[in-house]
Structure 1
Amino acid sequence: MSLAQVESWVPLLVPDMPAPHELLPWLERMHAARHYSNFGPLVCELERELAQRLNTPSEQLTTVANATQGLELVLQALDLPAGARVLVPAFTFVATATAIIRAGYQPVLADVDADSWLLTPEIAQAACQQIDVHAVLPVATFGMPHDMQAWHRFEQETGVPVVIDAAAAYGSQWLNGAEGTLVFSLHTTKSLPAGEGGLVVSTRPGLAAKVRQLSNFGINLDPTAGLPAGTLISLGSNAKMSEYHAAIGLVSLQKWECHAQKRRVLQADLMQEWQQISGDSLAWQAQGPGGPLMAPTLLCMRLPDAHARAALERACQQARIMTRRWYQPLLQHMAVLQQRCVSLDAPNAQAMAQTLLGLPFFLGMTLEQRHRITAVLEQVLKNKK
């Protein structure tokens, strides 16, 4: 029996969640208050902390149960025309597209920049020359932030609202003084994990309040509205964040800076090590004009060609190393979505889909795990030279 057969798998991701003893004081506060949902004290405290860190007035921010529902409710709150077309990158997670469809709209799939892997204002401008769109939903791909000043100018010039799917970009994506709307994820695999959760930030007047109302079924809870409490004002959903998840989020927030720095160091070390053994044959996501990635949560590379990627996948499988073809197949190649989307030419996304591969990346990686990955990479890439 070979060593590879007896070694445990190197996981792709390992959630960076607080330990039970760290949560206990917050859970005791929750239990003492006997408030477990419905915008309880811990949710309100988390919102205050996040508003302060994001330098955002509290009325421009609200939590939700998860980022996918956050996207759906933001789109609903924009009051777009029935069947409106929403521009999104072809290279993204499926939830970006399904949120649009579930909100009653149609995704229009566009290309991404070859270096930053982002849907840019320039690409969106070109797409708007081809087809009439009613909103744009760029994605902070793998957490890489967008230039909000540029997207603000796009909104001003076109009148088309922009919502950034910043699911993986907490700590990296900022408004930076611009007007805009951001939706973050607090999922267990993100940089600010709460198990499940989401955050909506928007300078658009009344949008965060509308999302908050929609997340509570769409009923009125405002005593100044002149309507009885519980009156249904709009067709919402139950998308509130629970006190349990807020407790996790508050603990995670306390150590976010420390863990973000460790993630940056680990990413830089791995990229440098793997690039050296590859003879500079690997390509990585480039920083866009929105600034640096402050808390990476996964690590993707582009191999020289599809054959090299397939060879690396096979070698990793034999060495019990998990890999992932992130965001593949592309949205336009998924049967469930093909009849529901409009697909524009996307040569950069198509090329990425042939060569991109995610390797293990998580805090607490052991030297043995790192050495095993490096050895496999060196073996495969040496044979491809």
Structure 2
Amino acid sequence: MIQKHPTGEWRIKCLVPDLPSPEAVIPYLYEMSDNRWYANFGPINGRFEEACKKLLTTDGQTCFVSSFSSATAAMEVVLVAKGLERGAKVLVPSLTFPATALAVIRSGYEPVLSDIDPDSYQLTPEIAKACLAKSGGEDIAAVVPVAPYGIPVDIDAWEDFQVATGVPVLVDAAAAFPVQKPGRTIPVVYSLHATKPFGIGEGGLVACGEPAVIEKARLLSNFGFEHYEIVTPGSNAKMGEYYAAVGLVQLARREELEARRAHLWQKYCDVFAGASDKVHIIGSAGYSGGYSGGTVAIPANLLIETKVPIQKVVDACITKSIQTRHWYLPPLHSQQAFASCLQLGDGEKGLPLVADRLMQHMTGLPFHNFLSDDDIEEVAAVVLKATI
């Protein structure tokens, strides 16, 4: 939910994209002009995909990658590739960006909304198994766990779940490129939107250890063409050369961008270090099981959970012209478009209790590469005063 300033511009904004300068992209524009190739799996796109493949290939596990016009388009294509019956039920967490459930709907399926784990803020394999039991098992045709706020899921645990239950899994790791490890057999979707830690403007990726999964997704992203013939109904979901060019420049900046975010994250952890009884930074616990390469990386957003009602904090920030964002809130089960979806939580009528509680106690603070240490100290001072 985007918070509008009551009178004008925010003094300290919650999110500011950090994309390359025009000068850095210009050489690729000349290359495109020379090639006269702007879309349809061009050479720049091919180099970008290969570079992303190398980045995501860790721990000796080979992965395959295909690019898309957006992560939502990628989600839809991969869901369609699952070949589920029309109207099949797909389990998704109630705490996620709406695109997760919208992709399910637009693929011809029905979202089923689950609660989340109170510690990891995720739909876990254990919660999914409980939902299978509640629904009679056979009603859930697929599961889409989410890497919330860029905090990776334990992909190996989901591989085990898929083997044990026979229920196919697709991971929505929109905000977790490149830190989310791809699955051996489970496809993982990443967003490259401008607001993400690794942003190119707009775009998405799918990565998986099974080449057949990527080949099918790639075919469907190009209308379903194979040798000049439509072999299955697809869509137009390809990434153009312009965005791939921005992606190559961003890859060259990646370590610089990550170092800056790490510094800002640590600064927030330091200023809130003595107030853990009042303010909890979501993602500060690590959750290293799903990180690509086994390293702990920085979440995409900086959210806090407070003991006091979060509106006190939000109101205090507004008075100082500090923008906050209720990322993923209200939860899906509270939104009109998903009101008719089956819910499988522990509350009355299946209400997802944990996701519901976060609406009253969680918000996102400013977190982007253009913040200064002084900005963070000011934000923390306002937040801490409001939690007294």
* Normalised TM-score (structure 1): 0.90
Q: How far apart in 2 are the matches of 1:90 and 1:8?
A: 30
Check 1:265–1:234 CA distance in 2 against 1; reply closer, same or farther (3 A cut): same
Letter in 2 for 1:290: G
What is the match of residue 120 of structure 1? 124
CA contact (8 A) 1:63 1:200 kept: yes
* 1:39 maps to 2:41: yes
Q: CA RMSD in A?
A: 2.1
Q: Which runs of 5+ in 1 are unaligned?
A: 222-228
Q: CA deviation at 1:199?
A: 0.4
In the other structure, the counterpart of 2:241 is 243
Give distance in 2, aligned partners of 1:79 and 1:128: 20
- 1:62-112 CA distance string (max 9 Å, x none): 100000010000000010111111111110000000000000001111111
Q: Secondary structure at the match of 1:255?
A: helix
Question: Of 167, 172, 186, which aligns to 1:165?
Answer: 172
1:255 counterpart letter in structure 2: R
Whole-angstrom CA distance in 2 between matches of 1:206 and 1:314: 51
Q: Which residue of 2 aligns with 1:224?
A: none
| Offset at residue 205 of structure 1 (A) | 5.0
TM-score (norm 2): 0.89
Q: What does residue 343 of structure 2 align with?
A: 343
Shift of 1:149: 1.2
Count of aligned positions: 366
- In the other structure, the counterpart of 1:187 is 193
2:182·2:208 contact (CA, 8 Å) conserved in 1?
no
2:348 maps to none
Q: Which residue of 1 is the match for residue 89 of structure 2? A: 85
Match of 1:19 among 18, 21, 25: 21
DSSP 3-state at the match of 1:324 = coil
Q: 2:359 is matched with which residue: 345, 353, 356?
A: 353
Q: Give 1:279 deviation, angstroms.
A: 5.8
The question of 1:287 aligning with 2:263 is answered no
Q: Is the 8 A contact 2:121 2:148 kept in 1?
A: yes
Mapped contact 1:143–1:167 kept (Cα < 8 A):
yes
Looking at structure 2, the residues matched to 365 and 313 of structure 1 have their Cα atoms a distance apart, in angstroms, of 19
* CA distance 1:313–1:214, shift in 2 (3 Å): same
Question: Structure 2: which amino acid aligns with 1:211?
Answer: A
Partner of 1:198: 204
Contact 2:74–2:206 (8 Å) recurs in 1: yes
Measured in 2, the distance between the counterparts of 1:242 and 1:159 equals 36
Q: Could you list the structure 1 runs, at least 4 aligned residues long, displaced by more than 3 angstroms after superposition.
A: 4-8, 56-59
Q: What residue in structure 2 maps to residue 102 of structure 1?
A: 106
Partner residue in 2 for 1:334: 335
1:152 aligns to 2:189 (yes or no): no
Task: Answer yes or no: is 1:261 the counterpart of 2:259.
Answer: yes
Partner residue in 2 for 1:71: 75
DSSP 3-state at the match of 1:348: helix
Quick check: 2:264–2:373 contact (8 Å CA) kept in 1? no
Residues 1:364 and 2:370 aligned together: yes
Secondary structure of 2:207 counterpart:
strand
Matches of 2:19 and 2:9, distance apart in 1: 25
Q: Tell me the residue number matched to 1:225.
A: none
The structure 1 residue matched to 2:250, chosen from 224, 249, 252, is 252
2:384 match: 378
The 2-side partners of 1:103 and 1:6 are apart by 40
Tell me which moved more, 369-378 or 43-52: 369-378
* 8 A contact 2:64–2:208 mirrored in 1: yes
Are the equivalent residues in 2 in contact too, given 1:300–1:356 (CA < 8 A)?
yes
- The letter of the residue matching 1:91 is L
Instruction: Give 1:154's aligned amino acid.
Output: F
Mapped to 2, the partners of 1:8 and 1:81 lie a distance apart of 47
Task: Say which is worse superposed, 362-371 or 246-255, in terms of deviation.
Answer: 362-371
Which residue matches 2:349? none
Deviation (angstroms), 1:297: 2.5
Cα distance in 1, alignment partners of residues 195 and 311 from structure 2: 26
Q: Is the 8 A contact 1:73 1:214 kept in 2?
A: yes
Query: Is the CA contact 2:113–2:333 (under 8 Å) kept in the aligned structure 1?
Result: yes
AA at the equivalent of 1:29 = E
Identity %: 38
Distance 2:8 2:193 in 1: 32
Is 1:59–1:208's contact at 8 Å kept on the other side of the alignment?
no
Alpha-carbon shift at residue 8 of structure 1 (Å): 5.2
Cα deviation, residue 253, structure 1: 0.7
Report the AA paired with residue 246 of structure 1.
Answer: A
Unpaired segments ≥5 residues, structure 2: 1-5, 346-351
